[in-house]
Amino acid sequence: MDPHPVLVFLGGLAVVLLGAELMLRSATRIAALLGISPIVIGLTVVSVGTSAPELAVGITAAAEGQGALAVGNIAGTNIVNILLILGLSALMRPLPIRLMSVRLDVPVMIASALALIAMASDGRLGPAEGALMLLSAALYTLALVHLARRENSAMQQEFTQEFGRAALRTGGWHPGAWLAVLLLAGIAITVLGAELLVAGAVRIAKAHGVSDAFIGLTIVAIGTSAPELVTTLLSTWKGDRDVAIGNLIGSSIYNILVILGLTLLASPDGVDVSRDLLLIDLPLAALVALAGLPVFRSGHQVSRTEGGLFVAAYGIYLISLLWLRT
């Protein structure tokens, strides 16, 4: 007797979160062990690490012919990142915006969202677009490394405190070898969980006559955003607010450029982009990114009021999805 699809989905979600947490911790500690700049660790390793569930879900969904779920998950996750998670964090404490975020990260986040719409305008995304996304990610990372050298020592110190000396206590093994084992285990666990997550989500969708894109935009998007949610809220609670906002902006960029890029490279036949995704969800994700620019520039912080408006906007978005798309 097959398990209930809801149980399969919840079990997959739990496994994905476990694997992502293990991978995130080990990858961050490897970076610290290698002496990589703390700011770069936060905006790259932490961001990509918390996006691991999206990568596993995207590749698994594409391999199973559920391309709309993969693209919908990216659009939905980026909307969740900015409106829900950033909004909740700002409600807890106003979030300061670093100058580098205004000059580089936010414009790249907006450009990535707009470029995705342009590339998907013919209703299909393929390996060529995936390669272009990965090249863009490499260029962005190089620019990030260059600008990070100008960051002041106070911002670098908070990552050192978060992931520094304590991260290197790994017992009798050589630290690098032990952390590499943990990293590989985290990747394997995340992929296994993603397979369960996608299988459960697709079965739920078919049982209720709901499209794969809708499931990707809602249940899977919120579920795979849990690492960002936990990381961001904990960072905000601890007062590491630069960690919080850097993680969210970085994740939104790498979700498109790296996560979707790798998903497309793993899909030789390409991925179809549904009309709803092209006309509604991808433009909405770009609009959310654009809306962040004036908010980030206003006083160089996200206030509690602005955070509340973001959360309210996400609530309206979710209600409209349930009303119009089910």
pTM, 2 dp: 0.76
Q: Distance between CA atoms of 54 and 261, rounded to whole angstroms?
A: 12
Q: Distance between CA atoms of 125 and 88, rounded to whole angstroms?
A: 33
Query: Do residues 16 and 191 make contact, with C-beta atoms less than 8 angstroms apart?
Result: no
CATH code of 5-324, in short, is: 1.20.1420.30
Tell me the percentage of the chain whose pLDDT exceeds 70: 79
Residue in 181, 231, 310 with CA at minimum distance from that of residue 45? 231
Cα 236–241–242 angle (5° rounding)? 145
Residue in 212, 234, 229 with CA at minimum distance from that of residue 281? 212
Return phi, psi of residue 97, to 5°.
-110, 125
Give per-residue pLDDT as tens, 195-225: 788 788 878 877 877 776 677 777 777 777 7
Hey, which bits of the chain come out as E strands?
Answer: 95-96, 124-125, 271-272, 301-302
Cβ neighbours of residue 226 under 8 Å, at least 6 residues apart?
13, 17, 53
Is it the case that residue 170 has pLDDT exceeding 50?
Answer: no
Is it the case that residue 130 has pLDDT exceeding 50?
Answer: yes
Which range in 101-105, 129-133, 270-274 is most confidently predicted, on average pLDDT? 129-133
Is it the case that residue 104 has pLDDT exceeding 50?
Answer: yes
The whole-number pLDDT of residue 36 equals: 61
Query: Do residues 311 and 83 make contact, with C-beta atoms less than 8 angstroms apart?
Result: yes
Concatenate the DSSP letters of all residues of 103-160 into one string.
IIIHHHHHHHHHHHHHHTTTSEE-HHHHHHHHHHHHHHHHHHHHHHTTS-HHHHHHHH
3-state secondary structure of 263: helix
What distances in angstroms separate CA 99 from CA 147, 180, 181, 221, one per listed residue?
10, 34, 37, 29
18-22, 97-101, 160-164, 177-181, range with the lowest pLDDT: 160-164
Is it the case that residue 253 has pLDDT exceeding 90?
Answer: yes
3-state secondary structure of 274: coil
- How much is the average pLDDT of 10-17? 84
